[in-house]
Structure 1
Amino acid sequence: MSNIHVSQHPCVRAKLSQLRSSATGPRETRALVTEISSFLAAEALATSLTTIQTGEGTSALGEKYAVEDVAEKVVLVPILRSGLGMLEAFNNLLPTPAAIYHLGLFREKATLSPVEYYNNLPTTSANSGPPADLAIILDPVIATGGTAIAAIQTLKEWGVKKIILCSILGAKPGVNHAAEEWPEGVEVYLGAIDPKTTPQGMIVPGLGDIGDRLFLTIGK
């Protein structure tokens, strides 16, 4: 689909191979998630943002120049828990800090259906206008696509104009399902796509449970 974008950057591909490895420890896992997210952020934001002139400044040589800033109101929406691992990379790249709103979603083990347990999106009114021009969903993996679809539905109902869904890795069927949810309003950016998931909803060959790897909760 035209709204699915897979990074071809050699460094992303090499770092993803390191992240996949069972020999990669928690400190390295956190670093790799941040580094890969930085590449994805640069790719996604390059085509999704525009600039406007906000004034005039004086350079270090005393010369005048046009001051520019991002035109769009951007919000970051990490999916708890693992989306927190991508947050710093995106926030650091933006020229001004973005509002951060968290969505807590987990997959019910028997049905693999998403269940929302936390949502701190602020209340909006019909007269207040769109709450954001661009919402960026951060979730390291898209497996079945259920969590991504639930997040997209929530943000669309909230009133955002456009959504970027950014993940380090996705399974092909789940990525397609997510991209089809709101094709005119959603752009999906990924580091790579794997072919399938297990019956338990884990991506193959995948990254394992990236949330457990990030937060040292393996075997909980």
Structure 2
Amino acid sequence: MTLTLPNNVHHQHNESFNHLLTSLRSRNIKPADVRSLVREMTTFLSKSVHLHTTPDETLAVIVILRSGLAMFDGFMDSLPQNLPTAVYHLGIFRDPTTLQPVEYYNKLPLKPAQIKQAVILDPLIATGGTAAAVVGILKDWGLEQVTFLSMLSTPAGLSHAGGVWPEGSQFVVGSVDSQVDEKGYIQPGVGDIGDRLFGTVF
């Protein structure tokens, strides 16, 4: 099936990444192995992030709580050691009934002048509601460009999030599954990645 994705989406086609994703789809692996896989997959994805920063610029790294935490080390390891960074966290969850994003943590300060662009870390883009909210928040914060790094997404989610700020946002995704179910989970997907990362599946 040919996927039609927005122009601001880069769908990475990498056999090594796909092999890791196949391992991640197994629901029998331990949280430590899930975290290891997500870190390694993030390293692969990071190779497709092309930053154009000036010498006096600081890159904002935006970690989406809680599952984005597992991508942090893999992404930071990919950056040049001399690149200044500032790390911020945003907490947004999806209401299980309405499937709408709910913001619960945002401590972004008045935007420093040297921060012009950001990379956002969140493993999954399902319905696109959370990703769209994050892009909107960062646009309003005054950034010039954002790059959203995600391991797995859906065409509908990417169309939703990619349409918020098409001229100022780029999405780098490792793989795309066809749809979401009535609960907003990607199908076939990888399950609730947050629960799997942190061992809260009972």
Q: TM-score, normalization: structure 1?
A: 0.84
List per-residue Cα deviations over 1:71-109 (Å, max 9, x = no partner): 642111111000001011111221245211000000111
List per-residue Cα deviations over 1:55-86 (Å, max 9, x = no partner): xxxxxxxxxxxxxxxx6421111110000010
List per-residue Cα deviations over 1:113-138 (Å, max 9, x = no partner): 000000121124xxx64x62211111
Give unpaired runs (5+ residues) of structure 2: 1-5
Query: Residue 142 of structure 1 corresponds to which residue in structure 2?
Result: 125
Taking the aligned partners of 1:149 and 1:175, their CA distance within structure 2 comes to: 9
- 1:22-37 equivalences under 5 Å are 22-37=27-42
Contact 1:77 1:136 in 2 (8 A): yes
Taking the aligned partners of 2:130 and 2:191, their CA distance within structure 1 comes to: 17
SS of equivalent to 1:5:
strand
Q: Structure 2 vs 1, CA of residues 113 and 141 (structure 1 numbering), >3 Å: closer, same or farther?
A: same
Moved more, 72-81 or 189-198: 72-81
Taking the aligned partners of 2:22 and 2:164, their CA distance within structure 1 comes to: 29
**2:94 equivalent among 90, 107, 114:** 107
| Amino acid corresponding to residue 109 of structure 1 in structure 2 | P
Query: Residue 82 of structure 1 corresponds to which residue in structure 2?
Result: 67
Q: TM-score, normalization: structure 2?
A: 0.91
Give unpaired runs (5+ residues) of structure 1: 53-70
Q: After the TM superposition, list the runs of 4 or more consecutive aligned residues in structure 1 that deviate by more than 4 angstroms.
A: none
Identical amino acids, percent of aligned pairs: 44
Deviation for aligned residue 1:176: 1.2
SS of equivalent to 2:150:
strand
The answer to whether 1:48 aligns with 2:51 is yes
Query: Residue 158 of structure 1 corresponds to which residue in structure 2?
Result: 141
Contact 1:49 1:72 in 2 (8 A): no
Contact 1:91 1:97 in 2 (8 A): no
Taking the aligned partners of 2:40 and 2:171, their CA distance within structure 1 comes to: 18
How many pairs align?
Answer: 195
Taking the aligned partners of 1:146 and 1:138, their CA distance within structure 2 comes to: 15
**2:43 equivalent among 33, 38, 46:** 38
| Amino acid corresponding to residue 48 of structure 2 in structure 1 | E
Higher relative contact order (CA 8 A, sep 6+): 2
CA-atom RMSD in angstroms: 1.5
